Structure 1
Amino acid sequence: MHESPTGAPAPASIEPAGNRICFGAHELRLDTRQLLSAGQAVSLGTRSFDLLVALIERRGRVVSKRELMSLVWPSTVVEEANLRVCMSAVRKILGPDVIATIPGRGYQFTARVANATAHNAQEVEPGPAPASALQLLGREALFAQLHAAFEEARLLTLIGPAGAGKTSLARELQAGGMHRNGVPRPIYWVELAALADGELLAASIAQACGVTLGDDGGHRDLTAALRSSHALVILDNAEHLVDAVATVAHALLDACSHLRLLVTSQVRLKLSGEVALQVPALEVASAGTPFEEALKTPAQALFMRHCWQAGRSLVADQQTLDLVADICSRLDGLPLAIEYAAAAVPVLGLRGVASSLESRRLSLSANRRDAPQRHRNLRTALSWSVSLLSPLEQLVFRRLGVFAGSCSAELFDAVVNLEGADPWSLMEALSELIDRSLVVAPGDLSPRYRLLETSRSFAMEQLQERNEMTDLRARHALAVERMFTRARAAALAGHIAVDEAIDSMQPDIDNARAALQWALARDDDMALSLSASLAFVLRRAGGDPEARRHLLLTEPLAERCPEAALRSGWLREAIYHWTMTDLSRASRWINVAELGYRELGDEAGLMETLALRAFVLNRAQGDELLINALLDEILRLDGPQFPAQLRVFCAAAVMYCSLRLGRTQDFAWAAGLAGRCSAGDTFGHASLVCALMGTYLTQGQAAQAVELGETLYAQLSQSRFKRAIYWAPISLVRAYLAADRLDCALALASDCFKEDACSDTLHAWVDALAYLACLAGQHECGARMIGYGDAHYQATGGHRLTAQMYFREKAIALAREQMGQAHYAQAHEAGGWWADLDMQRAGLQVIATPRTGADCAATGVSE
């Protein structure tokens, strides 16, 4: 057993096969345990070096994590995290494409290796044929599926959009070879892209296969020549000759019982016995994914590889990988588009590429002279695909470009069918676009249709060139506004459940944003209606900051025409929002709304507005006589004729006010309504329950508050609205602390904060964690957290809810008492400069701090 430079024994199973191993620009010197990159020695830890050697010696096969851990740490029990750290260190030096991650199986060294002596070098074969496919990042499972399919089928078609990598996958199959009973099967490649005449197809196949046709030169001669052949014939880029290819393929498979055919095309041949394999886009890790993990994701790894090949290696850090994630997402994970974008990095830089995609500049190219003519740039590739469509299919394709994201069948017909054509002919055209991989249609029960982002940019260019954009944008905005208004009105009237309305509207939020942008410059009424509907959805989907932006943007329109603001629902949604963020602004618009509803005789609108007025006055510690009068009128108006969600909201507002005014009978009414609250309004139900919990806590009934909170949290844990109603578990933490159940409070805070720490709801837990920090004696940390939270809300214009304000006030009181005002102010100011990462680390430290029950009692938390 040899010793490492540090004196640690190297694994016994790793014996050097030679003095040096060379791969790419790297050289591994086994005798001196050195790694050289471009001739320069680089630092690699002992275990990372052993890991690299183990993988190289087992190249050609997948090495499991368990096996690697036993090789690199032969006498030590270690966690899998140790392996990930070493793997990350190796990849930082070698780049992302030398070691492939095989999901669920392990790792494989994929670079070509040459063993070198002092005098010469001899290339070593890479191993079994299928291993070559690992050069295509993220295609391991698909490549294995391709091989398995040929065990049963004789005709296999790889389908996918332009640039998905169909040809590359076929090339890898050709390079790796196929075998029949251990004997290599001949493989012939037939390039069809340049072939314009289907009559010449048989001759092209014959030429590629090295056979001679008779005077007829048709497929009968071809089938006769290949009758006894065991070859695999690859027909690449068949979409423009699909009818001719289907005819010849059928004849060959019928007459040549041993022949296999592999076809790459944007559309399947639709022959019996054909197995169609979809070549999907590469997986893209979202921004915020830890960069070590993102670096292993196929799309990002491919982008980094192409940058390295283009002479601009990128630093693999979090900021870089987040920007790469944004670029790859905009390119829908298409390998060809990723290659083109990476090729532009040496000229534009990473941020320049992102900006060019933002402005829809599609002229990026790979700058490769060996690229097929149709793939020289993105526009050429898409133009090739669209040119194969019929006139009606081309019309549907470019009109789909007006949708931001996807659309439903209902919205598709309302927008695309300008001429009032037969809907079935449009659906047939849409079906052909799906078959040709130009349109994606996820979902089975209610499919939605969308163009890939690169295709959408091309379609919008086509609309502009034909002067169709203006009319289509107007039709799109009108259709979206009508759909949103209809769903919102039905929910508010109680005709459908609120949750059902939100579910129907959420998939088209991007379309509504685009429609609002169009309407702002052209149609005030439509802009008010769309902003109201967006606020209605976003408030329940965790999008308060965006809702605020839309309302502020359209507020001047409401001031010019208050009647339109009332009619469109803008007033209602604006008042709802500003009751929590801007009491003076809310009061001003409440006056407008109350007057309007009284003039119209709209009792439902009036009751809701009175409840909002009472809520605002109570928050501002306003006139008790006026609040009493408002509650009396609300109770007079209330009745079963009103929608359940309206009654639930009014009950919550009454509950907030009744205890302060000593109106215990009103509290009982509201609590009873909470128990009878109908399903279908998760947001409203949660609001009422949390209000009831707060009231119980004020009365010292912590056990009742905990019972309500636990039931609500269990329901929300399975709900799609969980993230939007982030304040419910915070209320439950407060209830646990009031009930002297510190362990439960910590466990809940830990689970929720770990889930939210890297999301846009990080700020939600700041106040509760600040208080928990103070309970553990970490008063300076608590003060810094409050400073971070205050800075966040000031910067975003957001607001704290009741439970958050409770924790903030308690944390401030404890911190000031222990630290003194001057020291507290310094810590608070320092926290205002914290980055999100600082808050994440501090929060995780707080919830990991051991506590005892005495901590809770000593600070009077149950008061």
Structure 2
Amino acid sequence: MNAERSPKSITTPDSASGDVVAVLHYPRFDIDKARGELRVAGRPVALRPKTFALLQHLARHPGRLLGRNELIEAVWRDVIVTDDSLVQCISELRAALDDRSQKLIRTVPRRGYIFDVRPIGSISGESLDLTAPSQSQAFDEEDCVPESVHEGTPEQAPCDFVDVAGKRRAASNTGEAGEELTSLARSTRATNNLPVQMPPLYGRAEDVAALARLLEVSRVVSVVGPAGIGKTRLAQAVAYELRNDYADGVWIVELASLADGLLLVPTVARVLGHQIALSEGGLTSLVQLIRDQSLLLLLDNCEHLLQQAAHLVTQIVADAPGVRVLVTSQEPLHIDQEQIFRLDALAVPANADATAAPGFGAVQLFVARIQAADPKFTVDSGNVSDVVEICRRLDGIPLAIEFAAAREPLLGVHGLLRRLDESLRLLAGGNRTAPARHQTLRGALQWSYGLLSAPEQTVFDRLGVFMGTFSLEAAQCVASDQTTDSWAVIDHLASLVDKSLVMVERGEVPRYRLLESSRAFALERLAITGSLDATRRRHAEALAQILTGDDLFEEPLARMRRIAPDLDNVRAAVAWALGPTGDHQIAVELAAATDRLWDARGFNDEGARLYRTIEPWVDESTPPRLAARFWFAVADLRMRTELKREAASALRAARLFQGLNDRFGAFRSLTVAAHQFAFLADRDAAIAALTGAEALLDDAWPSWLQTSVAYCRVVFAYFIDRKPDEARRLANAALQGLRLDHSFYGNRCEIMLPACDLLEGDFASALRRCNDILNRSSVTESVQLRSHILSLRGAALVYLDDFKAAELALRSACTLSMHARDPMACPYCHVALLLARQGRLVDAARTLAWIDNRQLQAVRDWIPPMAVSSYKEARAIVDSAFTREECDRLASEGARLSFEQVTAMAFPVVQSGVAR
């Protein structure tokens, strides 16, 4: 049976290298082991601990080939990692050492790396393997390793090589030198139809190695992926690497231009040097001719000849044991013994870091293509954000990146990014020597699209309205109609996945997505057929229905996890519903279905803006149940700057649910109202809401609803009664027997424990609890909660005088709070105290003034008790340090600061150890 390979091989290290304190001096850099520091041109260069550990191990063995397994065992001995970790560290080292040409750290393909530079001096006893030969000594003229080796950087040779000298040595060690040398002599005489020199290949070193390993154990390997992802170039690179491993050669058969499947066998035969007539016995004759040969056959671009190619390969596997077949196709052959290698896009950086970004394949390719026209182009701090965003928007697809780079001389990087919305028109004019279907992105997509059946084309077109990922249920709702039922959609979706036009994102529940270029093509097709607006309406309606769900008692944390992946789809559906051809009632339905969504993804401010936009449309004409659900969503947004509005919305929802005799809806609304009034310290309103909720509570309902009531009581004790010991007792009682990774309100009860510790002055306990909470993903998957926990942790660290760690925690809390809860004053109360205790009194005074100004604005912040304590202590320190006139001047300056300005002032950017 065929099988898909796992993404990367996994190695478990079991040994470690020694650690010696020393300073090693090299011509352009130093390795300071005492400080754990790399210095280039006298300046420290920041490296991750594992990257520095790798550098240490390389430096201990200059000139010696260090295998991948050895390096992984030396650096990651206590953890399981993939080869990606090693490759990333090597890329970081090369970037830090400016080793673009790989003169310092060279790759020996499929074997490892050589640190090809020796120290010119050292301090203290350095345990170096100085007996290992350097580059000039390690290999004599006959056995030398080529200087340029494949790792996916612009200056290197395009492909890896076969280490002939290594094979000789291995043969000698096993006593089989004569037989091995004979084999080598035969392999060097092998013929092939490969290019004399391969073009550079970027970011595919691991794929080349993995594919070569698969060919060692599998007779048939199919490289599968969408158009333009680089299947052909990867397969050719592997064939080039293995060109000396097959006595009868490595042969590429290009099939894209072959329109008639009957011509497949004669075409393959002709490439192999045989003449086969177009007859029924042609395949048998071909297999007879090659049955005793040792060769690698590369069948390139088989997607339009799958049936014939599958028949051919099946016969070769059965009757020609020395032949291995490498296939490239958008769809697998689906034959026995086929090993499927699904090719991923080039790696794209997660962050816009000018130092790390050039180590990623997508950026390497983009830069190399621009440098072909402008050798001076580099990635720097001024353009790295645009470069990374371009690569991300193009999904790391090599063909799209090449086309985009070709437009950079005309548009510039920033202009190119702004024009990407016109991608199908923009991404044209590729290499004139490329196949016609690859000379424009539209051409590549049209080729793939033309291979689909009419029903598959219809489903593909309709999937174009999805943004980001989508569920199977959503695909069925949007793509089905009177002519295509929902079960047929499943079959067509599976076929599109098989043909690499729809990607699968594996998880507990699989989700699907179209590449951005494919999505643009599908939308274009919908527009041409005049069905775009109708499909967008169906998308919005389906999304509102799916997000609402049919489980009345769905636990809030489970709901957050279920609907969070659809944020991008909600944005697309809302944009249509609010647009000129949209529908206001569908907009209300979407808004009513998004409670918990904004909190889950940390965009509560975006949710608040949406609700305010839609609110005028919720009137007497709105169905009461829909209105009730809308006001509940508003109430449950949990924007601390809108507590009064949310509390009023909760009561409004409760009244509507009561009018519908919906006991559960009224209960949920009243508990939310009780929470909000407690935060506002409105005792009477909070007690009234909680009393009303408890009267509706049904013992037959799920237990998490009891926990929601318990959480109300914890909040009352802490915020209204100011009794942290009572709040702690109630929280611990509520937590008994709960699985916190499955409990929304249990998590919130737990978060109250460090808050109680802080209020009672037990800062060590508060810090310990915060650390425990941050280590559990069920809490931190909510951006709002993570911000709150980091704020508490920062406060504990301030009071424990660990200012460096406090600054890191509070910086993160303030950054997250900007979107999670609007720029809240709460964490800045702790920031002001941190600044005051650090002696940055002017900054502390301005921060306090910014807080005061926010409290005077129309939108007033809610500040919890512990933050009030930090504010008061910071105020006392500042007021005692300045005269009244100075205080007034600083207050005036601080009041004028924006959120971004006060944040930049509190947490200045640090470059090379100097704050600015």
Scaled to the shorter chain, the TM-score interval is 0.7 to 0.9
Query: Which residue matches 2:272?
Result: 209
The DSSP-based 3-state class of the residue aligned with 2:430 is coil
1:223-243 superposed Cα distances (whole Å, 9 cap, x missing partner): 344344433332211111111
Aligned counterpart in structure 1 of residue 323 of structure 2, from 259, 272, 288: 259
**2:426 equivalent to 1:380:** no
1:536-581 superposed Cα distances (whole Å, 9 cap, x missing partner): 2222442212211221221111256576476451112213447722
Query: Which residue matches 2:556?
Result: 498
> Structure 1 residues 541 and 751 mapped into 2: Cα distance closer, same or farther (>3 Å)?
same
**Range 656-665 or range 406-415, more displaced:** 656-665
**2:607 equivalent to 1:547:** yes
How far apart, CA to CA, are the structure 1 residues paired with 2:26 and 2:395?
49
The answer as to whether partners of 1:363 and 1:377 remain within 8 angstroms in 2 is no
1:439-450 equivalences under 5 Å are 439-443=502-506, 445-450=508-513
**2:806 equivalent to 1:749:** yes
How far apart, CA to CA, are the structure 1 residues paired with 2:148 and 2:858?
43
> Structure 1 residues 159 and 74 mapped into 2: Cα distance closer, same or farther (>3 Å)?
farther
Q: Which amino acid aligns with 2:775?
A: S
Aligned counterpart in structure 1 of residue 573 of structure 2, from 515, 533, 546: 515
Query: Which residue matches 1:854?
Result: none
The DSSP-based 3-state class of the residue aligned with 2:344 is coil
How far apart, CA to CA, are the structure 2 residues paired with 1:192 and 1:574?
58
Query: Which residue matches 1:110?
Result: 156
**2:210 equivalent to 1:149:** no
Q: What displacement does 1:626 show?
A: 6.0
1:46-67 superposed Cα distances (whole Å, 9 cap, x missing partner): x999967981796867998893
TM-score, normalization by structure 2: 0.71
> Structure 1 residues 567 and 154 mapped into 2: Cα distance closer, same or farther (>3 Å)?
same
**2:649 equivalent to 1:581:** no
Query: Which residue matches 1:124?
Result: none
How far apart, CA to CA, are the structure 1 residues paired with 2:673 and 2:443?
60
1:523-547 superposed Cα distances (whole Å, 9 cap, x missing partner): 4333223213324222244221221
The DSSP-based 3-state class of the residue aligned with 2:306 is helix
1:55-204 equivalences under 5 Å are 55=103, 67=115, 70-71=118-119, 110-111=156-157, 135-180=200-245, 185-204=248-267
> Structure 1 residues 773 and 391 mapped into 2: Cα distance closer, same or farther (>3 Å)?
same
> Structure 1 residues 99 and 543 mapped into 2: Cα distance closer, same or farther (>3 Å)?
farther
> Structure 1 residues 645 and 573 mapped into 2: Cα distance closer, same or farther (>3 Å)?
farther
Q: Which amino acid aligns with 1:110?
A: Q
1:816-827 equivalences under 5 Å are 816-819=879-882, 820-822=886-888, 824-825=890-891
Q: Which amino acid aligns with 2:156?
A: T
**2:295 equivalent to 1:247:** no
How far apart, CA to CA, are the structure 1 residues paired with 2:809 and 2:113?
31
Q: Which amino acid aligns with 1:825?
A: A
How far apart, CA to CA, are the structure 2 residues paired with 1:684 and 1:609?
15
> Structure 1 residues 448 and 554 mapped into 2: Cα distance closer, same or farther (>3 Å)?
same
How far apart, CA to CA, are the structure 1 residues paired with 2:101 and 2:497?
47
Q: What displacement does 1:595 show?
A: 4.4
Aligned counterpart in structure 1 of residue 745 of structure 2, from 673, 677, 684: 684
**2:329 equivalent to 1:271:** no
The answer as to whether partners of 1:713 and 1:728 remain within 8 angstroms in 2 is no
How far apart, CA to CA, are the structure 2 residues paired with 1:283 and 1:789?
43
> Structure 1 residues 630 and 254 mapped into 2: Cα distance closer, same or farther (>3 Å)?
closer
How far apart, CA to CA, are the structure 1 residues paired with 2:283 and 2:290?
10
Q: Which amino acid aligns with 1:153?
A: S
Q: Which amino acid aligns with 1:282?
A: L
Aligned counterpart in structure 1 of residue 346 of structure 2, from 265, 279, 282: 282
> Structure 1 residues 351 and 607 mapped into 2: Cα distance closer, same or farther (>3 Å)?
same
Query: Which residue matches 2:618?
Result: 558
**2:518 equivalent to 1:455:** yes
Aligned counterpart in structure 1 of residue 839 of structure 2, from 777, 795, 801: 777
How far apart, CA to CA, are the structure 2 residues paired with 1:566 and 1:544?
21
How far apart, CA to CA, are the structure 2 residues paired with 1:71 and 1:343?
42
Count of matched residue positions in the alignment of Structure 1 and Structure 2: 763
> Structure 1 residues 594 and 662 mapped into 2: Cα distance closer, same or farther (>3 Å)?
same
1:422-475 superposed Cα distances (whole Å, 9 cap, x missing partner): 655433332222222111122265322222221111112222222232332222
> Structure 1 residues 58 and 282 mapped into 2: Cα distance closer, same or farther (>3 Å)?
closer
1:266-322 superposed Cα distances (whole Å, 9 cap, x missing partner): 112223232222221111112x34221012111112111111124385442234222
Query: Which residue matches 2:294?
Result: 230
The answer as to whether partners of 2:843 and 2:906 remain within 8 angstroms in 1 is no
1:415-454 equivalences under 5 Å are 415-419=478-482, 421=484, 423-443=486-506, 445-454=508-517
The answer as to whether partners of 1:192 and 1:237 remain within 8 angstroms in 2 is yes
The DSSP-based 3-state class of the residue aligned with 1:193 is coil
**2:901 equivalent to 1:834:** yes
Query: Which residue matches 1:724?
Result: 784
The answer as to whether partners of 1:158 and 1:262 remain within 8 angstroms in 2 is yes
How far apart, CA to CA, are the structure 2 residues paired with 1:437 and 1:534?
32
Query: Which residue matches 1:525?
Result: 585
How far apart, CA to CA, are the structure 2 residues paired with 1:625 and 1:564?
28
The answer as to whether partners of 2:555 and 2:743 remain within 8 angstroms in 1 is no
Aligned counterpart in structure 2 of residue 365 of structure 1, from 401, 408, 428: 428
Aligned counterpart in structure 2 of residue 220 of structure 1, from 281, 284, 289: 284
The answer as to whether partners of 1:300 and 1:321 remain within 8 angstroms in 2 is no
Q: What displacement does 1:387 show?
A: 0.8
The answer as to whether partners of 1:340 and 1:365 remain within 8 angstroms in 2 is yes
> Structure 1 residues 791 and 659 mapped into 2: Cα distance closer, same or farther (>3 Å)?
closer
How far apart, CA to CA, are the structure 1 residues paired with 2:701 and 2:341?
54
> Structure 1 residues 345 and 535 mapped into 2: Cα distance closer, same or farther (>3 Å)?
farther
Q: What displacement does 1:179 show?
A: 1.7
How far apart, CA to CA, are the structure 2 residues paired with 1:270 and 1:226?
23
1:470-485 equivalences under 5 Å are 470-485=533-548
Q: Which runs of 5+ in 1 are unaligned?
A: 16-46, 79-97, 114-128, 849-863
How far apart, CA to CA, are the structure 2 residues paired with 1:325 and 1:403?
23
TM-score, normalization by structure 1: 0.75
How far apart, CA to CA, are the structure 2 residues paired with 1:131 and 1:56?
27
**2:369 equivalent to 1:306:** yes
Q: Which amino acid aligns with 2:837?
A: L
1:17-38 superposed Cα distances (whole Å, 9 cap, x missing partner): xxxxxxxxxxxxxxxxxxxxxx
> Structure 1 residues 310 and 252 mapped into 2: Cα distance closer, same or farther (>3 Å)?
same
How far apart, CA to CA, are the structure 1 residues paired with 2:706 and 2:96?
64
Q: Which amino acid aligns with 2:223?
A: L
CA RMSD of aligned residues (A): 4.8
Q: Which amino acid aligns with 1:345?
A: E
Q: What displacement does 1:383 show?
A: 0.7
The DSSP-based 3-state class of the residue aligned with 1:156 is strand
How far apart, CA to CA, are the structure 1 residues paired with 2:853 and 2:112?
47
Q: What displacement does 1:338 show?
A: 0.8
1:767-788 superposed Cα distances (whole Å, 9 cap, x missing partner): 4233222123222343455678
1:633-655 superposed Cα distances (whole Å, 9 cap, x missing partner): 56666674666555555555555
The DSSP-based 3-state class of the residue aligned with 2:785 is coil
The DSSP-based 3-state class of the residue aligned with 1:441 is strand
Q: Which amino acid aligns with 1:834?
A: Q
Q: What displacement does 1:157 show?
A: 2.0
How far apart, CA to CA, are the structure 1 residues paired with 2:853 and 2:515?
39
Query: Which residue matches 2:734?
Result: 674
Identity of aligned residues (%): 26
